[in-house]
Amino acid sequence: MTNLNLCPIGEGFPEMEVVTTHGRMKLPQDFKGKWFVLFSHPADFTPVCTTEFVAFQKRIDEFKKLNCEIIGLSIDQVFSHIKWTEWIEEKLGVEITFPIIADDMGRVAERLGMVHPGKGTNTVRAVFIVDDKGAVRIIFYYPQELGRNIDEILRAVEGMQTSDNNGVAIPAGWPNNELIQDRVIVPPAQDVETAKKRSQEYECYDWWLCHKKL
């Protein structure tokens, strides 16, 4: 069975040279100083994957506002990627502007733990969110049968950047959390003295659950 944890969260994204629809690229170097989302799909010319590509492209400007690029991958040859994206533009009116890795030998998918156990050479619907320093920050895995929620991936990028920039934690469903709406969570106190001051400095349910407005 394929190990789906070959590129752990917190470690640097492995250096590799890949063939894409935009030519050869070096990862993560070619995205230096930017965040990027690398996502794999089971195969070209498949229905769920087509809906995902359209959804990613529809939100490309929102990702770019977060200094984040998109790059796709499947175990297909580059001409298949090109023909498929031409079909998407011709039939659906959406031009795919982000690069797609042609991993026809499956080496990248194997290295990143993307090959779906029991599904031949098909890749799982994996998502790697990599920060501007080249570190893997989030990994999502979905089965072939379930298309991804691209808004959640966008939210995850924004949430991690908000956490990094402000030293805070992000609540469930942020920025529409049921308890604290768009507020963020203050890290819990690490000593008794700080814990005593928490309720004076922030709004709190208790000293270990305090929140604030950014």
Q: Is the dihedral of CA 58, 64, 68, 70 positive or negative?
A: positive
pLDDT of 120 reads 61
pLDDT tens digits, residue range 20-68? 999 999 999 999 999 999 999 999 999 999 999 999 999 999 999 999 9
Q: Examine the domain organization and report whether 92 and 196 are in the same domain.
A: no
Q: Examine the domain organization and report whether 143 and 192 are in the same domain.
A: no
Diameter over CA atoms, the chain: 64
Using the predicted structure, report yes or no on whether residue 144 has a pLDDT greater than 90: no
Could you tell me if residue 3 is inside a domain? Answer: no
68-74 and 100-102 strand pairing: parallel
The domain of 201 spans: 167-214
Q: Examine the domain organization and report whether 102 and 192 are in the same domain.
A: no
How far CA 201 is from CA of 69, 159, 189, 194, in Å, comes to 38, 23, 12, 10
Could you tell me if residue 118 is inside a domain? Answer: yes
Measured distance CA(141)–CA(4) in Å, rounded: 9
pLDDT of 1 reads 36
* CATH at residue 202: 3.30.1020.10
Cβ(73)–Cβ(101) below 8 Å? yes
Could you tell me if residue 184 is inside a domain? Answer: yes
Is pTM beyond 0.85? Reply is yes
Q: Examine the domain organization and report whether 171 and 143 are in the same domain.
A: no
- pLDDT confidence tier of residue 2, bands split at 50, 70 and 90: very low
The active-site residue out of 7, 49, 68, 210 is 49
| 204 has catalytic annotation | no
Residue with more model confidence, 86 or 4? 86
Could you tell me if residue 68 is inside a domain? Answer: yes
